[in-house]
Amino acid sequence: MDIPYTVEPRPDTGLYNAKVGIWLFLASEVMLFGALFSSYILLRVGAMGDNWPHGLLNIPIGTFNTAVLITSSVTVVLAWASLKMGNFARFRKIQSITILCALGFLGIKSVEYKDKFTHYEIWKKDGARMTGHIEGNPWFWNTATLDAKNLQSVKFHPDPHHYAEAKPKHKEAAGAPAAGHEEGHPAAIDIPRADIKRLSAYVPSHSTYFGIYFTLTALHALHVLGGAIVIFYLWAFGSKMWRTQPIRFTNRIEVSGLFWHFVDLVWIFLFPVLYLL
Amino acid sequence: MASPIHSPAATPPTTAHAHDAHDVKKDVKKYLIVFAALLVGTILTVGMYYVHIPSLVITITVALFIATVKAALVAGFFMHLISERKAIYSVLLATAFFFAAMMYLILWHRADIPSKSNWWEGNITKKEGPRNAIR
Amino acid sequence: MQTTHTHVHGAHEVHHHPPGFLTKYIFSTDHKMIGIQYGVTGLFFLLFGFLLMALMRWQMAYPGQPIPIVGQLLLALLGPEQAAGGVMQPDLYNVFGAMHGTIMVFLAIVPLAFAAFGNYVVPLQIGAIDMAFPRVNMASYHCYFWGGVVMFASFFVPGGAAKAGWTSYSPLATITDAGFAVNGQTFWILGMVLLITSSLLGAVNFIATIIQCRAPGMTWMRMPFFVWAEFVTAFLLLLAFPPLEAAAVMQLMDNIADTSFFLPSGLVVGGNPLDVSGGGSPLLWQHLFWFLGHPEVYVLILPAMGIVAEVITNNTRKPIWGYKSLVYSLLAIGFLSFIVWAHHMYLTGMGTKISTFFQTTTMIISIPSVIILTCFFISLWGGSIRFNTQMLFVLAFLPMFGIGGLTGLPLGLNYAVLHLHDTYYVIAHFHYVVAPGTIFALFAGIYHWFPKITGRFMNEFWGKVHFVLSLIFMNLVFQPMFGQGFAGVNRRMYDGGATYAGAAGPMEAEWWAHIPFIGPVLYVMKAAPDTATVPHYWIDLNKDISHAAWALGLSQIPFILNFFISIWRGRKITSDNPWQATTLEWQTPTPPPHGNFDKHIEAHRGPYEYSVPGTQPDFVPQNQ
């Protein structure tokens, strides 16, 4: 005999199986991201003064991304509400916005990441530190790359301010963060290989700051991607199940929506903690 | 064929469904209000960053407070927690407690490490510890 | 009218053709088959983990000498860096030590205790037709299986398998084998991620099933104690594993992406400063690891306690004493186990306030454990005890777990830990809890449920032989270790401590010093050794322990043969309920079919209605 699917809530708990399952899973995810947040706090508190960069993340872009994710959160619940009211066509329309928002979020995140991978910091042997771009905007160079490519010097476009200098965010106008892209880079300077103690892009190995930043946001982005795939699958191929087992389909939309809201919840905390504080 | 896991059909589903079709219509309005509130909260938090409050403690507190309110709105209304049953609440409460305990105890450990040379005088403060200390 | 459930064949035709081999045995979604899969795989890893230890014990007893026969095999398989001339090299010793711990904890005991018995028995005991999420169940087994493959494969990776301990402390875990791009530590982390995923999926499944799929009348306080134990265990896995998953990802990045989550500034390795950013915290890894690590040990013991309850009540023909106390103690242990973890970290430079906090919670958590054990002891009083093999194992469990638990109390106090940390005392303590503790309960479970799963009994005589030999040799292996620990013999020493002991005085070699149990006591009383040094006597005990360990291994042969032979040639059962048990798993056909029950199931009474006055057979099944 086949084990039948159950969609009706159990009378004494008032819940159906999949809802219990997803909430339990979300509880475990709270612990997962919670551990990373705890690590963030510990690493930040333990870092000495100028080893914790500030103002390196683009706030307007981050704010926009937040709005995108919040929008997708409301569309995902409105899509479920449409199904509850029996309106499959409206569900498809609204849910497509969710998927577009998800893709938008991931796209913007990729742009942010790329911006980091082409942004460099040089520690010179005399103790000076400079941030900026390398001529040609290569990705992922580090000290070993210089030796592997047998370079005698690096053509470097330095930023006006290093992030460790006096708080640039209070000097800059809104929307132009200290270490972002600016029109008209200062002229390139040549830094001899012999002067360079360490070269690193803004990659996880740069510092614990970027390590935890990339880990938190990449893990979050993976969850966004996973959720988007599931929501897309149900959106694209759901009409058959809607016709044959509508309650089961509606429950699937609710459950995937709950996961999506959780992803939004994590970002609601990630954004201020990483970008603003 | 009787499914052994369900009570006989004579027992109708109880009020577990808070959302029948006409109820859901009312909920849509709630969702949109919450949406607006979330956007406002975001703008407030970003605004705080540019306004630059001198006290770090207050900045962090207010930012996390706003974030918590936003999270509560999402959880309460978008995730229907406000009308959900006790079973889910208890799981989440336990989770929240253990998360808080994990974070707090890890940080307390760090704050409670005695400094090397004068352990009898009390514990180190955050900034003065040796650079290479295991912390 | 709303249907009570949605049938697949309400909407279209379903063709019931018999499932093929792959669907039935490899990709099964039936909880019973998955339980068997977990059981067989788990037993394999149990044996493999044991063999690793057996080889380590040669090196400890006869340091520097080539291992007979197996030494050449290791040389052929692993190469001269690890097994030159058939002698276990130091790195290989560390590999075996780390993998013995990892395999026993994550690949053997948890899958056996939680997943194998849980999957098979829990849905039956609550009257469900399967788990709440059968396909997730299958995914969970496959994650476990492939995680095991990754762990197994790691032995053959350049540099060998993980060797930084089952606890994988940073910075050692990152520095070890750093010369190889892909090394055993990386494989270890990848394997752990798969195993953690498996446990999380399983935990979600168990909790949802127990909440949602109980039969009508099966209220919470009518559930068999084993189900409660699995329920609490599932919560421990659900909430405690994710921080380790986060930490594993961070350590993986430390290993392959040159990050410094757990690497402090200024590390110098081999005379050269490490080329990383620094600024990380090794303590952070320890916190995140032990946040799981402590609930993990309760995961190892709680299902075993559940099995013990089932076997005791069935073989004393009376209800378990103190059902409510047992349940509340379970819940207390579950809750408290999350806030005791730093008692594994007393020697990390803790301040007094936080140390007091953890000592207090650790002492408090011993109370519900004692309550559970006391209830089990009281349950024996006035019982009509049937001494079959499973009952013998369970009777032995009680004092053995008692010893393990009591010897854990000093380890909960940081003052004692100053002396005992990382000594053989710790090894003796936790092995007493898990080896003659949990494993005995698992053996009992196998003998107890074997007839329901296969329709045949295991042989009673050989079962008792297995029991007697295992009990004797378990104690001969682990009891001397307490003395070694007090004398200061450290863990994880490649030669068993011989070089440390070399500096101390001559060994007391009289024959009476080698009598089990009494010998060390007499030795201590007579020689009153200076505990600041490690007399050679304690190191020499390694030989006795190793011999006992090999004898323990040989004692498992009757069990292995009994197990397999009985599957095909065991004495057939004559009733679906051969042990005359009350719980629902015995009220099914044998073996239970897909869907478990051939009639409507409702629970009408508690789970342990034995010897109810006035009833004719001395038990009343729960659905009667």
Distance from CA of A184 to the nearest CA of C (A): 31
Enter the tokens of residue A44.
């930040």
Enter the tokens of residue C276.
């990383």
Q: Which of A41, A51, A62, A47 is nearest to A206 (CA)?
A: A51
Mean pLDDT, chain C, integer: 91
Instruction: Say what the pLDDT of residue B85 is.
Output: 74
Chain B CB within 8 Å of residue C16 CB:
no
Phi, psi of C289 (to 5 degrees): -65, -50
Distance from CA of A174 to the nearest CA of C (A): 31
Q: Which amino acid is at C10?
A: G
Mean pLDDT of C514-532: 73
Instruction: Say what the pLDDT of residue B8 is.
Output: 37
* C624 — pLDDT class (breaks 50, 70, 90): confident
Higher pLDDT pick, B130 / A133: A133
Per-residue model confidence as pLDDT tens digits over B29-52: 889 999 999 999 999 989 888 887
User: Which residue in B88, B90, B109, B134 has the most chain A C-beta atoms within 10 A of its own C-beta, making it the best mutation to test that interface?
Assistant: B88
Per-residue model confidence as pLDDT tens digits over B97-126: 999 898 888 888 887 777 665 555 555 554
d(CA C394, CA C380): 11
Enter the tokens of residue A15.
């819940």
Q: At what angle do helices C518-527 and C460-487 cross, to 10 degrees?
A: 20
What is the value of ipTM here, to two decimals?
Answer: 0.91
Q: Which amino acid is at C80?
A: P
What residues form DSSP beta bridges with A189?
Answer: A156
- Which other chains touch chain B, taking contact as 3+ CB pairs less than 8 Å apart? A, C
Per-residue model confidence as pLDDT tens digits over C246-273: 999 999 999 999 999 999 988 998 888 8
Higher pLDDT pick, C559 / A177: C559
**Rounded (10°) CA dihedral A19, A23, A25, A27:** -170
Cβ separation of A51 and C242 shorter than 8 Å? no
* C503 — pLDDT class (breaks 50, 70, 90): low
Element (H, E) at A153: strand A153-158
d(CA C345, CA C95): 23
Contacts of B30 in chain A (CB under 8 A): none
* Predicted TM-score of the model (pTM): 0.90
Q: Is C527 exposed, middle or buried (0-12, 13-18, 19+ CB in 10 A)?
A: middle
Q: Which of C467, C465, C480 is nearest to C436 (CA)?
A: C467
Chain A CB within 8 Å of residue C213 CB:
yes
Distance from CA of C585 to the nearest CA of A (A): 18
- Is the pLDDT at C116 greater than 50? The verdict is yes
Higher pLDDT pick, C371 / C489: C371
What residues form DSSP beta bridges with A123?
Answer: A129, A198
- Which other chains touch chain A, taking contact as 3+ CB pairs less than 8 Å apart? B, C
Place of tokens 């009281």: C378
Measured CA angle at A194 (ends A189, A199), to 5 deg:
70
Contacts of A73 in chain B (CB under 8 A): 35, 38, 74, 78
Instruction: Say what the pLDDT of residue A50 is.
Output: 61
Per-residue model confidence as pLDDT tens digits over A63-88: 999 999 999 999 999 999 999 999 99
Per-residue model confidence as pLDDT tens digits over A223-248: 999 999 999 999 999 999 999 999 99
Measured CA angle at B43 (ends B42, B44), to 5 deg:
90
- Give the dihedral sign, CA A71/A72/A77/A83: positive
Which own/partner contact pairs does B70-77 have at CB distance under 8 Å and 24+ positions apart? Answer: B70/A268, B70/B37, B70/B38, B70/B41, B70/B42, B71/A265, B71/A268, B71/A269, B73/B34, B73/B37, B73/B38, B74/A73, B74/A261, B74/A264, B74/A265, B74/A268, B74/B34, B74/B38, B75/A261, B75/A265, B77/A77, B77/B30, B77/B31, B77/B34
Cβ separation of B103 and A24 shorter than 8 Å? no
Q: For residue C90, is the peptide bond before it cis, meaning its omega torsion is within 30 degrees of 0?
A: no
Q: For residue C171, is the peptide bond before it cis, meaning its omega torsion is within 30 degrees of 0?
A: yes
> B77 near B105, Cβ under 8 Å?
no
Chain C CB within 8 Å of residue B87 CB:
yes
Q: Which of C35, C67, C66, C36 is nearest to C51 (CA)?
A: C67
Instruction: Say what the pLDDT of residue B112 is.
Output: 78
User: Which residue in C338, C341, C357, C623 has the most chain B C-beta atoms within 10 A of its own C-beta, making it the best mutation to test that interface?
Assistant: C338
* A49 — pLDDT class (breaks 50, 70, 90): low
Q: Checking phi first, is residue A82 left (phi over 0); if not, alpha (psi -120 to 50) or beta? A: alpha
Place of tokens 């742009």: A111
Per-residue model confidence as pLDDT tens digits over C1-48: 333 444 444 344 445 567 788 878 888 899 999 999 999 999 999 999
Contact residues for C40 (Cβ-Cβ < 8 A; gap 6+): none
